[in-house]
Structure 1
């Protein structure tokens, strides 16, 4: 089994099962394989653009159209754990009202038919205040967590009904809708950390999935109870890992 820099043996090959640190160094990109996405012009090396979700294998006229079967069927998964049975689903760029597409807004499915004129948005940022609290209480990973020098804010539109918060793991088949494994990585975040769910009325809840460092809300010191859904509201702040905060807002 692979071993991380701290001497932990791990069944996973990308992140340590014990401490969550990355295993090995990322291979250097092949300059010949890099190209520009024809949709948002960001560097892209694979089939799907990491910036806007453009599928290079589809014709230009249909590249940003949703494909059948993207949303997994929870009933078929047959798992009680809300993080189980997750499957990758293609993201598509959210339309920019000025024309074209805005690659910073990633939509993960059709908007819910809940009778509301607004949609929920998750705003992800590095939270210095939360980081200070984690260091003060000396959590499990506090001595290894470092606040990032630069972490561009990300916004994810919550189109759909469930959104896994965690870190992508190819070896375990975990593909979070809110992926916090993008560098710089918050090592305090578990692979399957928490789940945001949207009910038919458009109401939101957050459930901690038994993460190592827990999930807290709105600056509270005590984490929420694992495996128990807690209601969210406009302005709620979800704290995970060592410095990551996810603010929930509603937009027209």
Structure 2
């Protein structure tokens, strides 16, 4: 039987049936603390929602002292327009390789140990090569010697007077080209002149110039624009 605070035994477990004193009741169990909803934090720089200390949008440190925000920031300065200065228009160059009967006849007329054995080709279509880079080599390829010229004059028909590595076309600072004879066996001439170019010495070229090498090969320089 429960006993009240005055020491009376009572059949009633709420109030003592001797003195009427209420028995002490057990305190209710404390309720579990409610989770506090925390408002999402915003980046102090770009106002993007933060998941961590550093903003994933702009990389700003949310713990650092943010810079003061300007209500109406001044417009960004626009760069001054650069004046258009006329420049040098770079030209696109190509060469045309052809069998030149006029040059061939001059070679025959000059004679030489092999002049009588050289025959002008009955058919030799023109070949076109673009000029790119700093230099373009001219010659006839040789796999055994590792010679692979950019302008490959290997036949058929094949001009036997062209050396394996005969000449170079070299780009010039002004956008033009020069030709250099690489100490070839039979030399190089220009525009039907018979005086040979000095080996290993650049000679500037103009649009329409003709480079003669071998027994009947002429390379004509052409500007596309």
The answer to whether the superposition gives a TM-score over 0.5 is yes
Match of 1:143 in 2: 116
Q: Establish whether residue 180 from structure 1 lines up as the match of residue 153 from structure 2.
A: yes
Shift of residue 162 of structure 1?
Answer: 0.6
Match runs of 1:1-252 below 5 Å: 115-252=88-225
Q: Which moved more, 1:152-161 or 1:194-203?
A: 194-203
Q: In 2, distance between residues paired with 1:137 and 1:187?
A: 17
Q: Name the SS of the counterpart of 1:184 in structure 2.
A: coil
TM-score (norm 1): 0.53
Q: In 2, distance between residues paired with 1:136 and 1:222?
A: 14
Q: Which has the larger radius of gyration?
A: 2
Query: Are the equivalent residues in 2 in contact too, given 1:139–1:213 (CA < 8 A)?
Result: no
Q: In 2, distance between residues paired with 1:164 and 1:181?
A: 13
Query: Are the equivalent residues in 2 in contact too, given 1:141–1:242 (CA < 8 A)?
Result: no
Q: Aligned pairs, how many? A: 139
Q: Which runs of 5+ in 2 are unaligned?
A: 1-86
Q: Name the SS of the counterpart of 1:143 in structure 2.
A: helix
Q: In 2, distance between residues paired with 1:117 and 1:203?
A: 9
TM-score (norm 2): 0.59
Q: Name the SS of the counterpart of 2:117 in structure 1.
A: coil
Higher strand content, 1 or 2: 1
Shift of residue 140 of structure 1?
Answer: 4.7
Q: In 2, distance between residues paired with 1:133 and 1:121?
A: 26
Q: Name the SS of the counterpart of 2:212 in structure 1.
A: strand
Note the alpha carbon deviations across 1:170-196, whole angstroms, 9 max, x for none. 011100001111210000000010111
Q: Which runs of 5+ in 1 are unaligned?
A: 1-113
Shift of residue 141 of structure 1?
Answer: 3.3
Q: In 2, distance between residues paired with 1:141 and 1:161?
A: 35
Structure 1 residues 141 and 208, CA gap change in structure 2 (3 angstroms): farther
